[in-house]
Structure 1
Amino acid sequence: MLNRRLIRIRAMQALYAYEQSRKANLLLAEDLIKENFAPDLNSMEVQDKPKLKGLTDLSIKVLHEELSIHETTEDFEAPKAVTQAVKEAKILFNNRNKADFDQMSLRTLREADKVFVVYLKLLNLYLALADLSLADRKFEGKSRLADNKLLKALQENSEFEILSLKAEAQWNEEKDFVKSLYNTVLRENERYNEYCSKINHTLDEEIALLKYMVKNVFLKNEVSVNYFERFHLYFSEDRETLRAMVAHTFQNYDEEDGLEIAQSNEEWKERKEFLGKLFKQSIQRENELNEYILPKLKNWEYERVADADKILMRMALIEFMEFPSIPIKVTINEIIEIAKTYSTPKSGVFMNGVLDTLSKELVRSGEIRKSGRGMLDNK
């Protein structure tokens, strides 16, 4: 299952997507203003185009000022037409943002759950390939994938079958892909041919083949990777997690109890709650969080700070204040590592300075209260 670092990456990516949609919504709001002041081609009166353009430009300027995080110093009374146009544009902007927020909130959690669907598809892929191996004359008189003891146990696991049906994780509708993977990849694989050349296998040998296949065939070979990248948006980030989940399933095989299939549990519910809170509160409390962040950007203009850095700083503040069991240093270190990978080369140093200062101030003010494990290394 996804660890906290992957959850943070998932939240950051979802927040980045929301930020891009918000920029697109601003363009739509500007387009609405332009439409409001577009020349009326059906009017019998002469259209004052310079005046209409002036009203358009002024309205867009006012819109940006009202949406800016900075206080405006200008104090003037805009024409009623401008005030009305800006009001309508803001309504459109806010409604579109709310719709995107609601949609992305649901999608972010659904995509997190999809790691279990991909996991089930990977297990079913073994069975689909095993079925093809039965009719392969190349291996007559030799072992085949279908002979693997653990795959037989998987095939007979009723719990796995029910989970697969519910998740629609079988390969009945994707037989061409399975055939391609078998014929062009597995059938010619040296390790698989070596396995098939031996009739009897120890349990360790059976497990070793399956672990080899998930790592080198399912999650590394181009044919398979291309499929899963289309199927799952976060496949690249989840690849190692999926490998571990599949390997763990086979490694823990027991002669009496059979295979234990990974499922959503209380720990996973907590991880999803962590994800949902990071995403939602980073947006809902943006103005409040910016009040903490802005004073710390003494040598940086907010508009020039990378979007990913802004997002990660807000996420860190939510972790500081809303998750008492997570130590401050853990949050800072994790956010810095993500920034190094997903933002600019200087983001790590920049983030470290801002977050270290913020955390110390918020601890002194009592706005950060850690408990249990969260109190470790917070001196």
Structure 2
Amino acid sequence: MINRRHIRVKVMQSVYAIQQSHNDDIIREEKFLKHSILKMYDLYVLNFQLLIEVQKLAAKKIALSKKKILATQADLKPNTKFIDNKLINQLTESVSLEGYVELNKLDNWELDDEYVKIIFDELQKSDLYKKYLNTVDDSFKVDKAFVIDFFKEIVAPNEKLAEYYEDKMISWVDDIPFVNTWVVKTLSKCKLDKTFILSRLYKDKDDEEFVSKLFRKTVLKHKTYEEDITAKTPNWETDRIADIDMILIKMAITEFVSFPSIPVRVTINEFIEIAKDYSTTKSSYFINGVLDKISKEFTKEKRIVKIGRGLL
């Protein structure tokens, strides 16, 4: 499921987009924000579907080999360990996965099956695959470990596949690392004789509402928060502050005043970490300093009121 940090990243991107385009259609941009999060779930599902399609391709090749006129002993009695993989078979039999694919018409691997071939070719060449086929142990534990390594070592790092995903949906560029981790976590939780069920997109209703509330309030109050930031950065002209830094600080202020259950220190730490990935090398220090000053002043002025775990 999507976590709060990645939600913040998605909101940051939408706030940046609306400011750069000088577009004041908040409703439209909020719809696109939510759409991009929903499409991220498609990416999550496509990765499981890809594992299934690679196994299907392997089975098809084995069937064709048996029909050769001059079939060898290896063709007639092939190693079926991969096509018998218990975890991938769980994915194949999953009503949850199949239902989502059909409902959302995810026919990518039918239309662009060359990527299935690319992944299968890479798998066949790998030592991981050869070692797995020669493993005598046919337990679920071994099958699961292989599938996780297959995904981590071959699927996730594949540049051609990444380029394909990026061409399909521009917002997937930043989603790929998060989704790859999400897929591995989901596979790691699979158990023998348990039906495979896709993870939920949001942890709960609060996280889903967090998306809209953080976006709306940041956009609607951005002028007010800009004044607060200017007051705490007297040695900086507003236009000298990097756009992303300004947005991250405004989003953090929004959390300070509009989300009483989120501790101030949690908010500051989260935006420092995002700055490390999306802004300049010195941005995290700058943002930390500004937010520390603002949080102390806002607390003194009672503009920040935290409740529950927010007091910790």
Instruction: Quickly name the TM-score band, shorter chain normalised.
Output: 0.7 to 0.9
Q: Percent identity?
A: 32
Taking the aligned partners of 2:279 and 2:188, their CA distance within structure 1 comes to: 37
Contact 2:275 2:283 (8 Å CA) reproduced: yes
Total equivalences in the alignment: 299
Letter in 2 for 1:193: K
Q: CA deviation at 1:151?
A: 1.6
Equivalence for 1:346: 282
Where relative contact order (Cα < 8 A, 6+ residues apart) is larger, the structure is 2
Equivalence for 1:26: none
Contact 2:276 2:283 (8 Å CA) reproduced: yes
**Superposed counterparts of 1:101-250, under 5 Å:** 101-137=26-62, 140=75, 141-170=78-107, 171-183=109-121, 185-198=122-135, 201-250=138-187
Taking the aligned partners of 2:45 and 2:186, their CA distance within structure 1 comes to: 11
Matched, 1:372 2:297: no
Q: CA deviation at 1:350?
A: 2.1
Change beyond 3 A, Cα 1:240–1:132: same
Contact 1:112 1:272 (8 Å CA) reproduced: no
Taking the aligned partners of 1:348 and 1:134, their CA distance within structure 2 comes to: 51
Query: Aligned with 1:145: secondary structure?
Result: coil
Superposed CA RMSD in Å reads: 2.1
Query: Aligned with 2:125: secondary structure?
Result: coil
What whole-Å deviation, never above 9, does each CA across 1:44-88 have from its counterpart, x for those lacking one? xxxxxxxxxxxxxxxxxxxxxxxxxxxxxxxxxxxxxxxxxxxxx
Superposition TM-score, scaled by structure 1 size: 0.73
Change beyond 3 A, Cα 1:348–1:151: closer
Equivalence for 1:55: none
- Identify unmatched segments of 5+ residues in structure 2: 66-73
Superposition TM-score, scaled by structure 2 size: 0.87
Contact 2:46 2:106 (8 Å CA) reproduced: yes
What whole-Å deviation, never above 9, does each CA across 1:183-206 have from its counterpart, x for those lacking one? 3x1222221122123465221110
- Identify unmatched segments of 5+ residues in structure 1: 23-96
Q: CA deviation at 1:327?
A: 0.9
Change beyond 3 A, Cα 1:284–1:236: same
Q: CA deviation at 1:290?
A: 2.2
Q: CA deviation at 1:288?
A: 2.1
What whole-Å deviation, never above 9, does each CA across 1:268-318 have from its counterpart, x for those lacking one? 543232222222211111222223222112111112211112111110110
The correspondence for 1:280, drawn from 197, 212, 216, is: 216
Letter in 1 for 2:117: K
Contact 2:268 2:288 (8 Å CA) reproduced: yes
Equivalence for 2:24: 98
Taking the aligned partners of 1:144 and 1:202, their CA distance within structure 2 comes to: 11
Equivalence for 2:258: 322
Q: CA deviation at 1:234?
A: 4.0
Equivalence for 2:242: 306
